[in-house]
Homo-oligomer: A and B are copies of this chain.
Amino acid sequence: MLDRRRFIGAATIGTGAAIAGLAGSGPAFGQGAQALASPQVDFPENPRDFGGGGSAAGAVNRAEIDLFDCEVEGNWPQDLDGVFYRVGPDPQYPKDPKWAGDIPFDGEGHVSMFRIKDGHVDYKTRYVRNQRWKAQHEARRSLFGMYRNPLTDDPSVEGLSRGTANTQLFLHHGKLLVYKEDSPPVHLDPLTLETIDDYYTFGGKLNSQTHTAHPKIDPLTGEYIGFGYEASGLLSKDIFVFSADRAGQVNWSTTVQAPYAGMMHDFAVTQSHIVLYLTNMVADAERIRAGGVHFTYDPGKPCYMGVMRRGGDGKDLKWFTGANLFCTHVMGGWSDGDKIVTDWDGGEGNQFPFFPSKAPFEPAKATGLIRRFTIDLSSRTNDRYQTETLFPEVNGVLSRQDDRFHTLPYRYGYLNSGAGWAIIDHADSSVQQVTVPDYRLSEMTFVPRKADAPEGDGYLIGIGSSIKENGRSDLILVDTKDPAAGPVARVKMPFQVVGQVHGFWADASQIPGASAA
Protein backbone atom coordinates (compact mmCIF):
# COMPACT_ATOMS: atom_id res chain seq x y z
CA MET A 1 0.00 0.00 0.00
CA LEU A 2 1.05 3.53 -0.68
CA ASP A 3 2.55 5.43 2.20
CA ARG A 4 -0.08 7.93 3.22
CA ARG A 5 2.25 10.76 4.06
CA ARG A 6 4.02 10.61 0.76
CA PHE A 7 0.78 10.19 -1.12
CA ILE A 8 -0.61 13.34 0.42
CA GLY A 9 2.63 15.09 -0.31
CA ALA A 10 2.58 14.13 -3.94
CA ALA A 11 -1.03 15.06 -4.23
CA THR A 12 -0.82 18.46 -2.69
CA ILE A 13 2.53 19.95 -3.60
CA GLY A 14 2.09 21.95 -6.72
CA THR A 15 -1.30 20.50 -7.46
CA GLY A 16 -3.59 22.15 -4.95
CA ALA A 17 -5.81 20.57 -2.40
CA ALA A 18 -8.53 19.26 -4.63
CA ILE A 19 -7.06 15.78 -4.94
CA ALA A 20 -6.02 15.38 -1.33
CA GLY A 21 -9.31 13.70 -0.62
CA LEU A 22 -8.29 10.86 -2.88
CA ALA A 23 -5.53 9.82 -0.55
CA GLY A 24 -5.20 6.34 0.78
CA SER A 25 -7.42 4.46 -1.59
CA GLY A 26 -5.27 3.96 -4.65
CA PRO A 27 -2.76 1.29 -5.58
CA ALA A 28 0.88 1.58 -4.61
CA PHE A 29 2.64 3.52 -7.34
CA GLY A 30 5.74 4.32 -5.29
CA GLN A 31 9.09 3.58 -6.86
CA GLY A 32 11.23 4.82 -4.03
CA ALA A 33 13.63 1.91 -3.98
CA GLN A 34 14.52 2.35 -7.64
CA ALA A 35 14.59 6.12 -7.62
CA LEU A 36 18.32 6.24 -8.28
CA ALA A 37 18.43 3.47 -10.85
CA SER A 38 19.25 4.41 -14.42
CA PRO A 39 17.94 1.63 -16.63
CA GLN A 40 19.10 0.94 -20.17
CA VAL A 41 17.34 3.30 -22.54
CA ASP A 42 15.13 1.07 -24.66
CA PHE A 43 11.82 2.27 -26.02
CA PRO A 44 8.92 -0.18 -26.41
CA GLU A 45 8.42 -1.80 -29.78
CA ASN A 46 4.66 -1.51 -29.73
CA PRO A 47 3.91 1.73 -31.59
CA ARG A 48 0.84 2.27 -29.40
CA ASP A 49 2.92 2.44 -26.25
CA PHE A 50 4.48 5.70 -25.08
CA GLY A 51 7.55 6.33 -27.22
CA GLY A 52 6.64 3.21 -29.15
CA GLY A 53 8.92 2.40 -32.05
CA GLY A 54 11.77 4.30 -30.45
CA SER A 55 14.45 4.96 -33.02
CA ALA A 56 12.37 3.67 -35.92
CA ALA A 57 11.68 6.35 -38.52
CA GLY A 58 8.96 8.74 -37.43
CA ALA A 59 8.88 7.59 -33.80
CA VAL A 60 10.89 9.44 -31.16
CA ASN A 61 13.48 11.96 -32.38
CA ARG A 62 15.38 13.32 -29.34
CA ALA A 63 18.21 14.83 -31.42
CA GLU A 64 18.99 18.47 -30.69
CA ILE A 65 20.19 19.90 -33.97
CA ASP A 66 21.88 22.91 -35.47
CA LEU A 67 21.84 22.98 -39.24
CA PHE A 68 23.27 26.23 -40.47
CA ASP A 69 22.23 27.42 -43.93
CA CYS A 70 19.81 24.71 -44.95
CA GLU A 71 19.42 23.69 -48.54
CA VAL A 72 16.78 25.83 -50.22
CA GLU A 73 14.80 25.38 -53.42
CA GLY A 74 12.60 27.74 -55.35
CA ASN A 75 12.32 31.46 -54.86
CA TRP A 76 12.56 32.20 -51.18
CA PRO A 77 11.33 35.78 -50.66
CA GLN A 78 14.46 37.81 -50.03
CA ASP A 79 12.65 40.29 -47.79
CA LEU A 80 11.19 37.70 -45.42
CA ASP A 81 12.97 38.20 -42.11
CA GLY A 82 11.81 36.25 -39.10
CA VAL A 83 11.55 32.89 -37.39
CA PHE A 84 9.16 30.02 -37.85
CA TYR A 85 8.94 28.23 -34.50
CA ARG A 86 7.47 24.80 -33.87
CA VAL A 87 7.00 22.61 -30.83
CA GLY A 88 5.79 19.10 -30.18
CA PRO A 89 6.11 16.23 -27.73
CA ASP A 90 9.23 14.09 -28.11
CA PRO A 91 9.66 11.50 -25.36
CA GLN A 92 12.83 12.23 -23.45
CA TYR A 93 12.89 8.73 -21.93
CA PRO A 94 10.88 5.55 -22.16
CA LYS A 95 8.42 5.24 -19.30
CA ASP A 96 8.48 2.65 -16.60
CA PRO A 97 6.57 -0.24 -18.22
CA LYS A 98 3.63 0.27 -15.90
CA TRP A 99 3.07 3.67 -17.51
CA ALA A 100 3.67 2.46 -21.06
CA GLY A 101 0.01 3.17 -21.83
CA ASP A 102 0.58 6.90 -21.38
CA ILE A 103 -0.54 9.11 -24.27
CA PRO A 104 1.73 10.71 -26.89
CA PHE A 105 0.82 14.20 -25.63
CA ASP A 106 2.87 13.51 -22.52
CA GLY A 107 6.18 13.64 -24.40
CA GLU A 108 8.62 16.36 -23.39
CA GLY A 109 8.54 19.55 -25.45
CA HIS A 110 11.09 19.78 -28.25
CA VAL A 111 11.24 23.22 -29.89
CA SER A 112 12.51 23.80 -33.41
CA MET A 113 13.10 27.04 -35.27
CA PHE A 114 13.81 28.10 -38.83
CA ARG A 115 15.57 31.47 -38.86
CA ILE A 116 14.85 32.96 -42.26
CA LYS A 117 16.71 35.98 -43.63
CA ASP A 118 18.01 37.09 -47.04
CA GLY A 119 16.86 33.82 -48.56
CA HIS A 120 19.01 31.80 -46.15
CA VAL A 121 17.56 29.53 -43.50
CA ASP A 122 19.19 28.28 -40.30
CA TYR A 123 17.59 25.41 -38.38
CA LYS A 124 17.91 24.79 -34.65
CA THR A 125 16.15 22.53 -32.18
CA ARG A 126 16.34 22.24 -28.41
CA TYR A 127 14.40 20.42 -25.76
CA VAL A 128 12.82 22.83 -23.33
CA ARG A 129 14.92 22.69 -20.14
CA ASN A 130 11.95 22.75 -17.81
CA GLN A 131 11.91 21.27 -14.32
CA ARG A 132 10.75 17.91 -15.61
CA TRP A 133 13.39 17.67 -18.32
CA LYS A 134 16.20 18.67 -15.98
CA ALA A 135 15.25 16.12 -13.30
CA GLN A 136 15.00 13.32 -15.83
CA HIS A 137 18.19 14.36 -17.59
CA GLU A 138 20.05 14.19 -14.32
CA ALA A 139 18.57 10.80 -13.43
CA ARG A 140 18.88 9.42 -16.99
CA ARG A 141 15.37 7.96 -16.74
CA SER A 142 11.71 8.87 -16.79
CA LEU A 143 10.47 10.14 -13.44
CA PHE A 144 6.99 11.34 -14.36
CA GLY A 145 4.19 8.83 -14.83
CA MET A 146 0.91 9.28 -16.62
CA TYR A 147 -0.41 12.33 -18.44
CA ARG A 148 -1.37 14.95 -15.87
CA ASN A 149 -1.46 12.49 -12.99
CA PRO A 150 1.04 13.41 -10.28
CA LEU A 151 0.11 10.31 -8.29
CA THR A 152 2.11 8.27 -10.74
CA ASP A 153 5.37 10.18 -10.34
CA ASP A 154 8.61 9.06 -8.80
CA PRO A 155 8.80 10.49 -5.27
CA SER A 156 12.05 12.25 -6.14
CA VAL A 157 10.17 14.82 -8.22
CA GLU A 158 7.71 15.95 -5.57
CA GLY A 159 7.32 19.69 -5.82
CA LEU A 160 8.62 20.00 -9.37
CA SER A 161 6.47 21.26 -12.20
CA ARG A 162 5.09 18.43 -14.29
CA GLY A 163 4.76 20.68 -17.34
CA THR A 164 6.10 19.35 -20.62
CA ALA A 165 6.00 22.60 -22.65
CA ASN A 166 5.09 20.60 -25.72
CA THR A 167 2.05 22.26 -27.32
CA GLN A 168 2.50 25.78 -28.66
CA LEU A 169 4.73 28.80 -28.42
CA PHE A 170 4.22 32.52 -28.70
CA LEU A 171 6.48 35.51 -28.87
CA HIS A 172 5.45 38.52 -26.79
CA HIS A 173 7.35 41.27 -24.96
CA GLY A 174 10.53 39.89 -26.51
CA LYS A 175 10.17 36.49 -24.89
CA LEU A 176 9.59 33.15 -26.52
CA LEU A 177 7.05 31.41 -24.28
CA VAL A 178 6.37 27.70 -24.62
CA TYR A 179 3.20 26.16 -23.29
CA LYS A 180 1.58 23.09 -21.86
CA GLU A 181 -1.88 23.81 -20.55
CA ASP A 182 -1.25 22.11 -17.18
CA SER A 183 1.54 24.49 -16.16
CA PRO A 184 2.93 28.01 -16.55
CA PRO A 185 4.86 28.91 -19.68
CA VAL A 186 8.59 28.31 -20.02
CA HIS A 187 10.59 31.30 -21.22
CA LEU A 188 13.20 30.60 -23.88
CA ASP A 189 15.68 32.87 -25.59
CA PRO A 190 14.08 33.36 -29.02
CA LEU A 191 17.41 33.12 -30.89
CA THR A 192 19.35 30.44 -28.99
CA LEU A 193 16.38 28.45 -27.59
CA GLU A 194 18.14 28.38 -24.24
CA THR A 195 15.71 28.07 -21.36
CA ILE A 196 15.79 31.28 -19.33
CA ASP A 197 12.93 30.66 -16.87
CA ASP A 198 11.53 27.17 -16.37
CA TYR A 199 8.39 28.52 -14.64
CA TYR A 200 7.41 31.90 -16.05
CA THR A 201 4.76 33.73 -14.03
CA PHE A 202 4.68 37.21 -15.58
CA GLY A 203 6.60 38.61 -12.66
CA GLY A 204 4.60 36.62 -10.11
CA LYS A 205 1.27 37.89 -11.40
CA LEU A 206 0.17 34.61 -12.98
CA ASN A 207 -2.04 33.57 -10.09
CA SER A 208 -2.55 30.11 -11.54
CA GLN A 209 -0.78 26.78 -11.62
CA THR A 210 -1.68 26.50 -15.29
CA HIS A 211 -1.69 28.51 -18.51
CA THR A 212 -3.34 27.79 -21.85
CA ALA A 213 -1.29 26.83 -24.88
CA HIS A 214 -3.34 29.31 -26.93
CA PRO A 215 -3.06 32.88 -25.66
CA LYS A 216 -4.32 35.61 -27.95
CA ILE A 217 -3.05 38.99 -28.96
CA ASP A 218 -5.14 42.14 -29.22
CA PRO A 219 -3.71 43.70 -32.38
CA LEU A 220 -5.07 47.14 -31.48
CA THR A 221 -3.50 47.38 -28.04
CA GLY A 222 -0.72 44.82 -28.34
CA GLU A 223 -2.10 43.17 -25.24
CA TYR A 224 -1.58 39.47 -24.49
CA ILE A 225 -4.64 37.64 -23.17
CA GLY A 226 -4.33 34.27 -21.50
CA PHE A 227 -6.05 31.98 -19.05
CA GLY A 228 -5.44 28.85 -17.02
CA TYR A 229 -7.96 26.16 -16.08
CA GLU A 230 -7.68 23.90 -13.03
CA ALA A 231 -5.91 27.04 -11.94
CA SER A 232 -5.84 26.27 -8.21
CA GLY A 233 -4.67 22.70 -8.66
CA LEU A 234 -5.59 19.32 -9.98
CA LEU A 235 -9.37 18.98 -10.54
CA SER A 236 -10.08 22.51 -9.42
CA LYS A 237 -12.83 24.40 -11.25
CA ASP A 238 -11.00 27.70 -10.96
CA ILE A 239 -10.16 29.53 -14.15
CA PHE A 240 -7.66 32.36 -14.02
CA VAL A 241 -8.07 34.91 -16.82
CA PHE A 242 -5.67 37.78 -17.44
CA SER A 243 -4.10 40.20 -19.83
CA ALA A 244 -0.65 41.74 -20.04
CA ASP A 245 0.47 44.88 -21.83
CA ARG A 246 3.07 45.09 -24.59
CA ALA A 247 5.80 44.99 -21.96
CA GLY A 248 4.40 41.85 -20.35
CA GLN A 249 3.02 43.64 -17.29
CA VAL A 250 -0.21 42.02 -16.12
CA ASN A 251 -2.84 44.76 -16.36
CA TRP A 252 -5.97 42.74 -15.62
CA SER A 253 -6.82 39.43 -14.01
CA THR A 254 -9.67 37.63 -12.36
CA THR A 255 -10.59 34.11 -11.31
CA VAL A 256 -13.89 32.52 -12.30
CA GLN A 257 -15.45 29.08 -11.92
CA ALA A 258 -16.17 26.38 -14.49
CA PRO A 259 -19.33 24.23 -14.36
CA TYR A 260 -17.01 21.23 -13.94
CA ALA A 261 -13.32 20.47 -14.33
CA GLY A 262 -12.65 19.48 -17.92
CA MET A 263 -10.44 20.25 -20.88
CA MET A 264 -10.40 23.91 -21.97
CA HIS A 265 -7.78 23.75 -24.67
CA ASP A 266 -8.38 26.97 -26.58
CA PHE A 267 -10.43 30.12 -26.04
CA ALA A 268 -11.57 33.12 -28.02
CA VAL A 269 -11.08 36.78 -27.32
CA THR A 270 -12.95 39.63 -28.96
CA GLN A 271 -12.45 43.34 -28.54
CA SER A 272 -14.94 43.31 -25.66
CA HIS A 273 -15.23 39.77 -24.37
CA ILE A 274 -13.52 36.56 -23.35
CA VAL A 275 -15.09 33.31 -24.56
CA LEU A 276 -14.10 30.31 -22.47
CA TYR A 277 -14.89 26.88 -23.83
CA LEU A 278 -15.32 23.74 -21.73
CA THR A 279 -15.42 20.40 -23.55
CA ASN A 280 -16.80 17.17 -22.20
CA MET A 281 -13.29 15.74 -21.88
CA VAL A 282 -13.77 15.50 -18.14
CA ALA A 283 -11.07 15.59 -15.48
CA ASP A 284 -11.54 12.20 -13.85
CA ALA A 285 -10.70 11.77 -10.16
CA GLU A 286 -11.39 8.05 -10.25
CA ARG A 287 -9.09 7.47 -13.18
CA ILE A 288 -6.36 9.59 -11.64
CA ARG A 289 -6.62 7.63 -8.42
CA ALA A 290 -6.33 4.41 -10.41
CA GLY A 291 -3.10 5.59 -12.07
CA GLY A 292 -4.64 6.59 -15.36
CA VAL A 293 -4.50 9.73 -17.44
CA HIS A 294 -6.20 12.92 -16.44
CA PHE A 295 -9.31 12.84 -18.65
CA THR A 296 -12.26 10.72 -19.69
CA TYR A 297 -14.39 11.65 -22.67
CA ASP A 298 -18.00 11.73 -21.51
CA PRO A 299 -20.55 12.49 -24.26
CA GLY A 300 -23.24 12.65 -21.61
CA LYS A 301 -21.81 15.86 -20.22
CA PRO A 302 -22.75 19.14 -21.88
CA CYS A 303 -20.10 21.40 -23.43
CA TYR A 304 -20.18 25.04 -22.34
CA MET A 305 -19.10 28.43 -23.56
CA GLY A 306 -18.50 31.00 -20.88
CA VAL A 307 -18.67 34.66 -21.82
CA MET A 308 -17.36 37.54 -19.72
CA ARG A 309 -16.33 41.10 -20.30
CA ARG A 310 -12.65 41.85 -20.71
CA GLY A 311 -11.38 44.04 -17.91
CA GLY A 312 -14.23 43.21 -15.57
CA ASP A 313 -14.28 41.39 -12.26
CA GLY A 314 -15.60 38.18 -13.78
CA LYS A 315 -18.92 38.27 -12.00
CA ASP A 316 -20.66 38.79 -15.32
CA LEU A 317 -19.44 35.39 -16.55
CA LYS A 318 -22.32 33.46 -18.03
CA TRP A 319 -22.14 29.87 -19.28
CA PHE A 320 -24.00 28.95 -22.46
CA THR A 321 -24.68 25.51 -23.80
CA GLY A 322 -26.10 24.01 -26.96
CA ALA A 323 -25.19 21.40 -29.58
CA ASN A 324 -22.67 19.08 -27.97
CA LEU A 325 -19.79 19.53 -30.38
CA PHE A 326 -16.18 18.74 -29.54
CA CYS A 327 -14.03 21.60 -30.77
CA THR A 328 -10.32 22.07 -30.29
CA HIS A 329 -9.04 25.24 -31.99
CA VAL A 330 -10.31 28.71 -32.69
CA MET A 331 -10.14 30.06 -36.21
CA GLY A 332 -11.34 33.53 -35.32
CA GLY A 333 -13.94 35.47 -33.42
CA TRP A 334 -15.35 38.95 -32.83
CA SER A 335 -18.07 40.90 -31.09
CA ASP A 336 -20.80 42.71 -32.97
CA GLY A 337 -22.70 44.65 -30.36
CA ASP A 338 -24.37 42.05 -28.14
CA LYS A 339 -23.58 39.28 -30.57
CA ILE A 340 -20.40 37.24 -30.21
CA VAL A 341 -19.27 35.05 -33.07
CA THR A 342 -16.49 32.49 -32.76
CA ASP A 343 -15.40 29.94 -35.34
CA TRP A 344 -13.79 26.65 -34.36
CA ASP A 345 -12.87 23.38 -35.93
CA GLY A 346 -14.68 20.52 -34.27
CA GLY A 347 -16.45 17.21 -34.56
CA GLU A 348 -19.66 15.80 -33.23
CA GLY A 349 -17.70 13.51 -30.97
CA ASN A 350 -14.31 12.92 -29.40
CA GLN A 351 -11.36 13.92 -31.59
CA PHE A 352 -8.76 12.43 -29.25
CA PRO A 353 -9.08 8.64 -29.46
CA PHE A 354 -6.04 8.12 -27.24
CA PHE A 355 -8.04 9.36 -24.24
CA PRO A 356 -10.35 6.94 -22.45
CA SER A 357 -13.98 7.37 -23.34
CA LYS A 358 -17.38 6.45 -21.98
CA ALA A 359 -18.48 5.77 -25.56
CA PRO A 360 -16.74 3.90 -28.37
CA PHE A 361 -14.60 6.09 -30.59
CA GLU A 362 -16.43 6.99 -33.80
CA PRO A 363 -14.10 8.27 -36.52
CA ALA A 364 -16.97 9.79 -38.49
CA LYS A 365 -17.96 11.91 -35.49
CA ALA A 366 -14.35 12.98 -35.01
CA THR A 367 -14.29 14.63 -38.43
CA GLY A 368 -13.48 18.29 -37.99
CA LEU A 369 -15.66 20.89 -39.67
CA ILE A 370 -15.79 24.64 -39.22
CA ARG A 371 -18.31 25.30 -36.49
CA ARG A 372 -19.63 28.81 -35.98
CA PHE A 373 -20.91 29.54 -32.49
CA THR A 374 -23.08 32.60 -32.04
CA ILE A 375 -23.98 33.91 -28.63
CA ASP A 376 -26.57 36.61 -28.08
CA LEU A 377 -26.00 38.63 -24.93
CA SER A 378 -29.04 40.84 -25.41
CA SER A 379 -31.41 38.50 -23.61
CA ARG A 380 -30.90 37.90 -19.90
CA THR A 381 -32.71 34.57 -20.03
CA ASN A 382 -30.90 33.11 -23.02
CA ASP A 383 -28.34 30.49 -22.02
CA ARG A 384 -28.00 28.74 -25.37
CA TYR A 385 -25.36 29.22 -28.02
CA GLN A 386 -26.34 28.77 -31.64
CA THR A 387 -24.19 26.68 -33.97
CA GLU A 388 -23.91 26.31 -37.67
CA THR A 389 -21.45 24.42 -39.85
CA LEU A 390 -19.61 26.52 -42.42
CA PHE A 391 -18.10 25.05 -45.56
CA PRO A 392 -19.42 21.54 -44.88
CA GLU A 393 -17.41 20.30 -47.86
CA VAL A 394 -14.14 21.15 -46.08
CA ASN A 395 -12.89 19.12 -43.19
CA GLY A 396 -9.78 19.45 -41.12
CA VAL A 397 -8.35 20.46 -37.79
CA LEU A 398 -5.77 22.87 -36.34
CA SER A 399 -7.58 25.93 -37.62
CA ARG A 400 -5.66 29.18 -37.74
CA GLN A 401 -6.03 32.73 -39.03
CA ASP A 402 -3.89 35.74 -39.78
CA ASP A 403 -2.95 36.34 -36.14
CA ARG A 404 -3.07 40.10 -36.71
CA PHE A 405 -6.85 39.67 -36.72
CA HIS A 406 -7.25 38.02 -33.35
CA THR A 407 -10.24 39.67 -31.57
CA LEU A 408 -11.44 41.33 -34.80
CA PRO A 409 -13.89 40.51 -37.55
CA TYR A 410 -11.85 38.43 -39.97
CA ARG A 411 -12.04 37.22 -43.53
CA TYR A 412 -9.45 34.45 -43.96
CA GLY A 413 -9.10 31.21 -42.05
CA TYR A 414 -6.86 28.18 -42.56
CA LEU A 415 -7.50 24.53 -41.91
CA ASN A 416 -5.26 21.47 -42.07
CA SER A 417 -6.63 18.24 -43.45
CA GLY A 418 -3.31 16.38 -43.30
CA ALA A 419 -3.40 15.91 -47.05
CA GLY A 420 -3.27 19.67 -47.44
CA TRP A 421 -4.21 23.13 -46.29
CA ALA A 422 -7.49 24.91 -46.97
CA ILE A 423 -7.68 28.68 -47.34
CA ILE A 424 -11.14 29.78 -46.27
CA ASP A 425 -12.48 33.13 -47.50
CA HIS A 426 -15.53 34.09 -45.47
CA ALA A 427 -16.17 37.15 -47.62
CA ASP A 428 -16.81 35.35 -50.85
CA SER A 429 -17.43 31.92 -49.31
CA SER A 430 -14.67 30.38 -51.37
CA VAL A 431 -12.15 27.71 -50.47
CA GLN A 432 -8.77 27.15 -52.04
CA GLN A 433 -6.94 23.90 -51.40
CA VAL A 434 -3.17 23.63 -51.07
CA THR A 435 -1.75 20.22 -51.72
CA VAL A 436 1.79 19.13 -52.44
CA PRO A 437 2.03 15.90 -54.41
CA ASP A 438 3.48 13.01 -52.40
CA TYR A 439 3.65 15.07 -49.21
CA ARG A 440 1.64 15.11 -45.99
CA LEU A 441 1.37 18.56 -44.45
CA SER A 442 1.51 19.56 -40.80
CA GLU A 443 -0.31 22.60 -39.42
CA MET A 444 0.03 25.77 -41.51
CA THR A 445 0.93 29.15 -40.06
CA PHE A 446 0.19 32.46 -41.75
CA VAL A 447 3.08 34.84 -42.47
CA PRO A 448 2.21 38.43 -43.50
CA ARG A 449 3.93 39.48 -46.72
CA LYS A 450 4.90 42.72 -44.98
CA ALA A 451 4.08 44.14 -41.57
CA ASP A 452 1.31 46.27 -43.06
CA ALA A 453 0.07 43.79 -45.66
CA PRO A 454 -3.71 43.44 -45.92
CA GLU A 455 -5.35 40.56 -44.07
CA GLY A 456 -4.38 37.21 -45.54
CA ASP A 457 -1.82 38.66 -47.95
CA GLY A 458 1.32 36.66 -47.49
CA TYR A 459 2.31 33.04 -47.11
CA LEU A 460 1.37 29.83 -45.42
CA ILE A 461 4.37 28.09 -43.90
CA GLY A 462 4.64 24.60 -42.48
CA ILE A 463 6.29 21.21 -42.64
CA GLY A 464 5.67 18.68 -45.38
CA SER A 465 6.67 15.03 -45.04
CA SER A 466 7.73 13.31 -48.22
CA ILE A 467 5.85 10.06 -48.60
CA LYS A 468 8.27 8.82 -51.24
CA GLU A 469 11.37 9.74 -49.23
CA ASN A 470 10.62 7.89 -46.02
CA GLY A 471 9.18 10.96 -44.30
CA ARG A 472 12.04 13.34 -45.12
CA SER A 473 10.86 16.87 -44.38
CA ASP A 474 10.57 20.06 -46.38
CA LEU A 475 9.62 23.39 -44.93
CA ILE A 476 7.07 24.63 -47.43
CA LEU A 477 6.11 28.18 -48.27
CA VAL A 478 2.94 28.84 -50.25
CA ASP A 479 1.88 32.26 -51.52
CA THR A 480 -1.70 32.91 -50.37
CA LYS A 481 -2.29 34.91 -53.55
CA ASP A 482 -1.53 31.90 -55.71
CA PRO A 483 -1.91 28.71 -53.70
CA ALA A 484 -2.66 26.67 -56.82
CA ALA A 485 0.92 27.26 -57.95
CA GLY A 486 2.11 25.11 -55.06
CA PRO A 487 5.10 25.98 -52.90
CA VAL A 488 7.02 29.04 -54.05
CA ALA A 489 9.99 27.86 -52.01
CA ARG A 490 11.12 24.97 -49.87
CA VAL A 491 13.75 24.26 -47.30
CA LYS A 492 14.95 20.74 -47.98
CA MET A 493 15.89 19.02 -44.76
CA PRO A 494 18.19 15.99 -44.92
CA PHE A 495 16.00 14.06 -42.47
CA GLN A 496 12.56 13.91 -40.94
CA VAL A 497 12.36 16.85 -38.57
CA VAL A 498 11.03 16.52 -35.03
CA GLY A 499 7.25 16.32 -34.85
CA GLN A 500 5.05 19.22 -33.87
CA VAL A 501 1.67 20.13 -32.54
CA HIS A 502 1.70 23.82 -33.43
CA GLY A 503 3.86 26.44 -35.08
CA PHE A 504 4.24 30.21 -34.71
CA TRP A 505 5.68 32.94 -36.93
CA ALA A 506 7.57 35.86 -35.43
CA ASP A 507 8.82 38.74 -37.51
CA ALA A 508 12.44 39.71 -36.81
CA SER A 509 11.27 43.11 -35.58
CA GLN A 510 9.64 41.35 -32.62
CA ILE A 511 12.80 39.45 -31.66
CA PRO A 512 15.42 41.30 -29.63
CA GLY A 513 18.81 41.02 -31.26
CA ALA A 514 17.54 39.29 -34.40
CA SER A 515 18.78 41.99 -36.74
CA ALA A 516 22.28 41.87 -35.33
CA ALA A 517 22.47 38.08 -35.23
Q: Given A42-B71, A71-B55 in contact, is the A495-B63 Cβ separation under 8 Å?
A: yes
Q: At the interface, yes or no: A493 with Cβ under 8 Å from chain B?
A: yes
The CA-CA distance from A43 to B71 in the complex, in Å, is: 7
A495 touches B495 (CB 8 A): yes
**Contact residues in B for A472 (Cβ distance below 8 Å):** 55-57
- Which residue in chain B gives the minimum CB-CB distance to A70? B41
Q: At the interface, yes or no: A31 with Cβ under 8 Å from chain B?
A: no
Q: At the interface, yes or no: A309 with Cβ under 8 Å from chain B?
A: no
Minimum C-beta distance from A204 to chain B (A): 32
Q: At the interface, yes or no: A246 with Cβ under 8 Å from chain B?
A: no
CB-contacts of A416-475 with B (<8 A): 469-470, 472
Checking B59, B140, B494 against A55 with a beta-carbon cut-off of 8 angstroms, the contacting residue is B494
CB-contacts of A299-333 with B (<8 A): none
Q: At the interface, yes or no: A38 with Cβ under 8 Å from chain B?
A: yes
B57 touches A470 (CB 8 A): yes
B495 touches A40 (CB 8 A): no
The CA-CA distance from A211 to B485 in the complex, in Å, is: 53
The CA-CA distance from A382 to B108 in the complex, in Å, is: 70
Minimum C-beta distance from A121 to chain B (A): 8
Q: At the interface, yes or no: A287 with Cβ under 8 Å from chain B?
A: no
**Contact residues in B for A62 (Cβ distance below 8 Å):** 67-68, 494
Q: What is the interface of chain A mostly: helix, strand, loop, or mixed?
A: loop
CB-contacts of A334-372 with B (<8 A): none
**Contact residues in B for A470 (Cβ distance below 8 Å):** 57, 470
Q: At the interface, yes or no: A492 with Cβ under 8 Å from chain B?
A: yes
- Which residue in chain B gives the minimum CB-CB distance to A64? B66
CB-contacts of A64-95 with B (<8 A): 64-73, 76, 93
Contact with B along A12-52 (1 / 0, CB 8 A): 00000000000000000000000000101111000000000
Q: At the interface, yes or no: A104 with Cβ under 8 Å from chain B?
A: no
Q: At the interface, yes or no: A4 with Cβ under 8 Å from chain B?
A: no
- Which residue in chain B gives the minimum CB-CB distance to A124? B64
Checking B61, B68, B120, B492 against A494 with a beta-carbon cut-off of 8 angstroms, the contacting residue is B61
- Which residue in chain B gives the minimum CB-CB distance to A61? B494
Q: At the interface, yes or no: A262 with Cβ under 8 Å from chain B?
A: no
Q: At the interface, yes or no: A393 with Cβ under 8 Å from chain B?
A: no
Q: At the interface, yes or no: A60 with Cβ under 8 Å from chain B?
A: yes
Q: At the interface, yes or no: A119 with Cβ under 8 Å from chain B?
A: yes
The CA-CA distance from A61 to B70 in the complex, in Å, is: 10
- Which residue in chain B gives the minimum CB-CB distance to A474? B55
- Which residue in chain B gives the minimum CB-CB distance to A75? B40
B68 touches A65 (CB 8 A): no
- Which residue in chain B gives the minimum CB-CB distance to A118? B38
B42 touches A72 (CB 8 A): yes
**Contact residues in B for A56 (Cβ distance below 8 Å):** 469, 472, 494
Give A contacts to B, CB under 8 Å. 38, 40-43, 54-57, 59-73, 76, 93, 118-120, 123, 137, 140, 469-470, 472, 492-496
Nearest 5 A-B pairs (CB), nearest first? A55-B492, A55-B494, A64-B66, A63-B67, A470-B470
With A42-B71, A43-B71, A470-B470 already in contact, 12 other A-B pairs whose C-beta atoms are closer than 8 Å = A40-B72, A40-B76, A42-B72, A55-B70, A55-B472, A55-B493, A57-B469, A60-B494, A63-B495, A64-B68, A69-B93, A495-B496
Would you list 26 pairs from A and B whose C-beta atoms are within 8 A, ordered by A residue?
A: A40-B76, A41-B70, A41-B72, A42-B73, A43-B71, A54-B71, A54-B492, A54-B494, A55-B70, A55-B71, A55-B472, A55-B492, A55-B494, A56-B469, A56-B494, A59-B494, A62-B67, A62-B68, A63-B494, A63-B495, A64-B65, A68-B137, A69-B93, A69-B140, A120-B140, A470-B470
